[in-house]
Amino acid sequence: MSPQRWLLFALSIVIGISLGLYYGWEVSPVQYIDTTPSTLRADFRTDYTLMVAETFQSEQNIENAARRLATLGSQPPAQIATAALNYAQQAGYTPADISLLQNLTIALQVWQPGAVAPGAGSQP
C-alpha cells in the first residue's frame, strides 16, 4: 500500500469519527425523559433526601419518609439518608439543612419496619 492510500484511510477514519461525534453531541443528543430517581447524581439525590427530611419534620411519619427514600434505590432508607448527610456535610449545605438530614437519619436508624407506632393500636 502506498503512503498516499494510508493517509487517505487515516483521514477517512478521522472524518468519520468527527462526524459521528458531532451528530451524537449536537444534532441528536441522548435525552433522558421520565427516569427514576435512582438515576440521579449525588447532589440531586441529596436534595431529594433533604426534601423528604423537610416533609418528615412537618409530618413526623417515618414510614412515609422511608417509602419516599425507597425510590432512590435498593439500599435501606437509613443508608440512603446517611449518604445524603455525608454529601451535604462535604458540599457545605447550611447547618439547618444538615440538622434536618441528621434528624431523618437518626429516625431511620432506630425505625423498625412493620412496628406499630405508639398509640396507633386499636382499642376495644
Residues 47 and 18 in one domain: no
pTM: 0.68
Mean pLDDT is lowest, of 46-50, 82-86, 93-97, 110-114, for 110-114
Q: Contact, 66 vs 58, CB < 8 A?
A: no
Residue 25 main-chain phi, psi, to 5 deg: -95, -35
Residues 22 and 65 in one domain: no
Q: In angstroms, rounded to a whole number, what is the distance separating the alpha carbons of residues 71 and 1?
A: 59
Is 118 contained in some domain? no
Residue 4 is part of which domain span?
A: 1-31
Number of domains composing the chain:
2
Residues 9 and 53 in one domain: no
Each residue's pLDDT tens digit, 65-105 = 999 999 998 899 999 999 999 999 999 999 999 999 999 99
Residues 27 and 43 in one domain: no
Give the cell for residue 21: 461525534
Residues 18 and 47 in one domain: no
Residues 51 and 79 in one domain: yes
- 3-state secondary structure at position 91: helix
Residues 96 and 75 in one domain: yes
Residues 102 and 60 in one domain: yes
Residues 103 and 42 in one domain: yes
Residues 46 and 25 in one domain: no
Residues 41 and 95 in one domain: yes
Q: Contact, 51 vs 94, CB < 8 A?
A: no
Q: Report, as an integer, the average pLDDT of 1-16.
A: 91
Give the cell for residue 76: 435501606
